Amino acid sequence: MTPTGSIRKTKPFAQRFAAGLALGAIAIICVAGSPANAADDKMTPIAIPAQPNAIVLDTGPLPNATAKESWHSQYGSVFARNVTVATLTPFLPDPAKATGAAVIVAPGGGFRTLSMENEGWDVAKALADKGVAAFVLKYRLNQTPEDMAAFEKSMAEMFSGVAARRTPPPGTQDPSTFLAPQIADARAAFALVRSRSKEWHVDPDRVGMVGFSAGAMLTLSTALYGQDAKPAFIGDIYGPLMPVTVPADAPPLFVALAADDPLFGAPEYGLVTNWRTAKRPVEFHLYEQGGHGFGMYKKTTTSTGWFDAFARWLDMHGYLKPKG
């Protein structure tokens, strides 16, 4: 059954969130990322990869969508766009080392594309290796031109326009409206994991979420507006850190960001401050260098160590061992 119900609104946060989203919409790897093989920046269309373990979520097709899902390669990684039907792909740990904890992984890409490998599959494999069940969420995206050249042109135009204004485009003032499909996908992902928790050897009370860039925005929105999702913990990896109203039961928060991030590296860390003021657990890693979109790429900057720090944080909170 598809999750339904209204999403709680907070007007000041909605406006700040929209500003962050406007910039996040250009935060795809092709514009802002700087992996080790950055010279390989050409987008090359590829066939949709086989995804035999992907489970279709029950949120239905994206309303009024006409463009078909397509994939491309770049930087030696793969990306999806025009996703109209959401899926969830499990990456389960060896039963001998399973801890019972689980993480839903939300790749980034400005809600126009998804970095499925660098910010999805590779993250999930690393979590499973730690004994944590991981589930990559391929959430529905805003439509883009099907032709690759037209897509690249549209992104360049949006980048130049939004970057110059640093303000949200007209009509994008309420995240509960323009993120409603993605929040519904996240809620459905949590519902599916919990409904099959026995089969997947997952503790339904120990399911968290980690997201990258736009996926970080979705992760935060799921924690704030996701109603029944209720992640046990959340990870915000190079997402905007604008101030929010923190609920009394806000989950533990892990944040990683590079100071030289061209989108979100400005000294605006209100999210962290608000979490601390609310006396909710928060850990913040501000790396000197790393840019945007570093994900699981191996770079010479210390930002490469974010995953090890995240794993230690999970361990500190008891998620890398079975619940006693």
50-68 pLDDT, tens digit per residue, is: 999 999 999 999 999 999 9
Domains and CATH numbers, the chain: 11-316 (3.40.50.1820)
Split at pLDDT 50, 70, 90, the class of 161 is: low
Split at pLDDT 50, 70, 90, the class of 36 is: very low
Task: Determine the pLDDT at residue 137.
Answer: 98
265-306 pLDDT, tens digit per residue, is: 777 799 999 999 999 999 999 999 999 999 999 899 999 999
8 A C-beta contact, residue 30 and residue 155: yes
190-248 pLDDT, tens digit per residue, is: 999 999 999 999 999 999 999 999 999 999 999 999 999 999 999 999 999 999 999 99
pLDDT (mean) for 72-87? 95
Split at pLDDT 50, 70, 90, the class of 168 is: very low
Q: Which residue has the higher pLDDT, 174 or 237?
A: 237
Task: Report the distance separating Cα 117 and Cα 78, nearest Å.
Answer: 6
Write the secondary structure of the chain as one string of H (helix), E (strand) and C (coil). CCCCCCCCCCHHHHHHHHHHHHHHCCCCHHHHCCCCCCCCCCCEEECCCCCCCCEECCCCCCCCCCCCCEEEEECCEEEEECCCCCEEEEECCCCCCCCCCEEEEECCCCCCEECCHHHHHHHHHHHHHCCCEEEEEECCCCCCCCCHHHHHHHHHHHHHHHHHHCCCCCCCCCHHHHCHHHHHHHHHHHHHHHHCHHHHCCCCCCEEEEEECHHHHHHHHHHHHCCCCCCCCEEEECCCCCCCCCCCCCCCEEEEEECCCCCCCCCCCHHHHHHHHCCCCEEEEEECCCCCCCCCCCCCCHHHHHHHHHHHHHHHCCCCCCCC
Task: Determine the pLDDT at residue 263.
Answer: 87
CA atoms within 13 A on the CB side of 80: 27
8 A C-beta contact, residue 190 and residue 230: yes
